[in-house]
Structure 1
Amino acid sequence: MAGTSSGIVAALTAAALGAVGFLAYQAQTHVPPGLGRPGPGASASASAAARERHGPGAAPGGTGTGDRVVYSLDDDRVWLVRRGDLVQRSFRVTPGTVDPPPGVYWVTSRSSAVIGTDGVPVEHVVRFTSVGGVVIGFSAATASRRAAGSAVRTGGIRETRADGDAMWAFATAGMRVVVIR
C-alpha cells in the first residue's frame, strides 16, 4: 500500500510540474511586444532615468502590468509590484557571480531551506532561470556568509531575511520575474 501511495504522489507531482512548465511556456509565447528581451535599440538609460525620477518606491517603467517581481541588475534592487503598478515592497539585494540576461521569466521552483552553492545555509529560495548550468534565484542567508572560492559560480541573489520573507509570500510558482538593466 505504501508503494502505491508514493507512486500516486510522484505522478501528481510530475503532472503539476508539467502543467506549470506548459503554462510558463504558453505565457512566454504570448508576451506582449516590448516586454521581451530588449532589442538592439533598447536604451538602458531610459529605464535608469525612470528609476531616478520615481525613486526606489516606484515601479520601473516598461516592465509590464499586473503582479510581478522586477529585478534591476544595475541597481541591485528588487520591486514587488501588484496590479496597477502598486509597489508592495522594494529592497536592495546582493547578486551572485552569474547574472541572468535582461528579459521576462517565471518562478519555476521554490525551496524553504537549502545550502547555497557557496556553502551558506539559505531560506525562502525562489528560482526563476539558469545560466550556463548555474541556477538563478532569490534567497536569504540564515548564517553568516563564508568566503567562496574564486572558481565558485553562484546565482543566488541574496536578500535580508525580512525581504526574503516578503519575496517568499509574494513570488509563488508561475509569478512573472522581469529582469532589467
Structure 2
Amino acid sequence: MATRRISSGVWIVVLLVAALATISFLSVQAYRNIPAEGTASSDSKPSPKPRPRPSVVKPKTYPVPGDSGAGRRVVYSLSQKRVWLVSEQESAVRTFTVWPGNVPPAEGKYPVAFRRAEGIGSDGVPIRHAVYFGARSAFSNAVDGASPAPDSTVKTGAIRESVADGTALWDFAAKGTLVHVVG
C-alpha cells in the first residue's frame, strides 16, 4: 500500500488557519468579559485610591549677589565659581558654574576689552568664545567641552565654562559690557 505525503505548503496553511481560529475565539471571549461602561461586575473591586505624588524637588536657585552693581552686566563670583548674565531689568537671564584658572581677577568692575571667536588658550587648549576683561582674565570654553583643572605650572586667568554657556556669554557680552567680579 502506498502512502501519500502531504506537502509542506498544505501543513503551513493548516497551521495558519488553526492559529487564526484560536486567536479569533480568544478575542471573542475577551470581548464578552468586558463590562459595559458604567456597570460593575459582581467581582469588581473599587479602584485603588491614588497615591500622593512625591514632593517635587525644586531646582536650587542662585540669586544675583547683592553687591554686584546695577544694570545690564556679567557678574562673576569668585567664591561661588558662578556667572550670572543680568538684564537691564535686574533679572538673571542665565547663571552657570565655571572652572577658574589659578590667577583670579581682583574684585571690581571691568569692561569687556575684546573678544576672540577662537584660538589657543594660555594652557594650550583650543578655545572658542573668549571674552577678555581686566588685565589678564577671560571667559572661554574649550572646543572639546573639557574643563580640566588648570596646570599649576602655568599661570592662567582663564575662566572656563561649558560650550552652551560659552555661547550664551559670547552672545550677551559685547565689547564694553561690564563684568562685575565679586568675592
Give the TM-score taking structure 2 as reference length. Answer: 0.63
Gaps (5+ residues) in structure 2? 1-59
| Structure with more of its chain in helix, by fraction | 1
Alignment of 1:103-118 (within 5 A): 103-118=108-123
Match of 1:157 in 2: 159
The aligned counterpart of 1:44 is none
CA RMSD of aligned residues (A): 1.8
Write the distance in 1 (CA, Å) between the matches of 2:150 and 2:168.
Answer: 27
Counterpart Cα distance in 1 of 2:128 and 2:103: 19
Which stretches in structure 1 are left out of the alignment for 5+ residues?
Answer: 1-53
87 and 153 in structure 1: CA distance in 2 versus 1, 3 angstrom threshold: same
Is the aligned partner of 1:169 residue 2:168?
Answer: no
**CA distance in 2: counterparts of 1:124 and 1:116, whole angstroms:** 11
Task: Provide the C-alpha distance between the structure 2 equivalents of 1:147 and 1:93, rounded to a whole number of angstroms.
Answer: 11
Change in 2 beyond 3 A, CA 1:146/1:55: closer
Structure 1 residue 145: Cα displacement = 5.9
Q: CA deviation at 1:60?
A: 1.3
Percent identical among aligned pairs is 46
1:147 shift after superposition: 7.3
Aligned length: 123
1:55 Cα deviation from its structure 2 partner: 3.5
- 1:179 alignment partner AA: V
CA contact (8 A) 2:105 2:134 kept: yes
- 8 A Cα contact 1:118 1:146, kept in partner: no
Matched-pair contact (CA < 8 Å) for 2:73–2:177: yes
1:69-108 equivalences under 5 Å are 69-108=74-113
Q: Which amino acid aligns with 1:169?
A: D
